[in-house]
Amino acid sequence: MNTTSGPTSDLTGKSVIVTGAGSGIGRAAALRFAEHGAKVLVADINPGGAAEAVAEIRAKGTPAHAVVGDLSEQRIVDQVVATAVEEFGGLDVLVNNAGIMDDMSAAADVTDAVWERLLRINLTAPFLLARAALPHMLAAGKGSIVFTASEASLRGSAAGAAYTASKHGVVGLTKSLAVMYRGQGIRTNAIAPGATMTNIEYAPAPDAHGPAVLASYMGNFGQVSTAEQQASAIVFLASDAAANINGAILPVDNGWAAV
């Protein structure tokens, strides 16, 4: 019998950035990384949530630091990556999780401001972070990037036009990074969460066209997942247990994508 141990989810000593780590899936992921021995840089726009996450991580006996700010700003992105590298001695994992929801609006009802904000936060900010992280991973000859996409990245019936477009863009970016850098030891994957218990909110306008259309499709999501279940998938994809997985979009949705 072969008893040789294979790749594991052990992340002891790894340097990890988790965006949106002040709450929800991001916070659950940051804590799960800490449980696996990683050093975690918490990036969030909410100072209170970031501070609480850092305190919880440190209570688990692993190092943690926070950078607070808007990740759609290049200077904040640069600060996040530089802090992780300086405090932890490098960068092994980037989790591009931070994002916002739209109001389920159909295209004819989406304002320029909403469109630009959704694209900037959900797609441009993760791109900026990946671009800033890549030089450090390339220098080390290894690294893992994990995006939080969405059920709305797989179909047109799970969110409004702006959110759906932004998350489809995340899938395209994930696959492009996987192809471009697989020869240099860098893996890029994404989870696609279905309905999940988090604090993300949306407020559709009364009698709006988008929510009225989507209502007939939304009953297929099945059991609502926990943030911790999404976090487990993120940590798996980031770890050596997923060493030969690259360019994958993993639905974590109780089979919604299969309906």
Q: Which residues are catalytic?
A: 163
Per-residue tokens: 66? 């926070």
Separation between Cα atoms, residue 81 and residue 193, nearest integer Å = 25
242 in Cβ contact with 188 (< 8 Å)? no
* Cβ-Cβ contacts under 8 Å for 5 (sequence gap 6 or more): none
Backbone angles phi, psi at 159, to 5 degrees: -170, 180
Backbone angles phi, psi at 94, to 5 degrees: -120, 125
Angle in degrees, 0-180, between the axes of helices 125-140 and 161-181, rounded to the nearest 10: 10
* Cβ-Cβ contacts under 8 Å for 235 (sequence gap 6 or more): 9, 11, 29, 32, 33, 36
Separation between Cα atoms, residue 146 and residue 154, nearest integer Å = 17
Helices (H), the chain: 24-35, 47-59, 74-88, 112-119, 125-140, 161-181, 209-214, 227-238
Element (H, E) at 67: strand 64-68
Per-residue tokens: 141? 């000859």
Per-residue tokens: 155? 């179909």
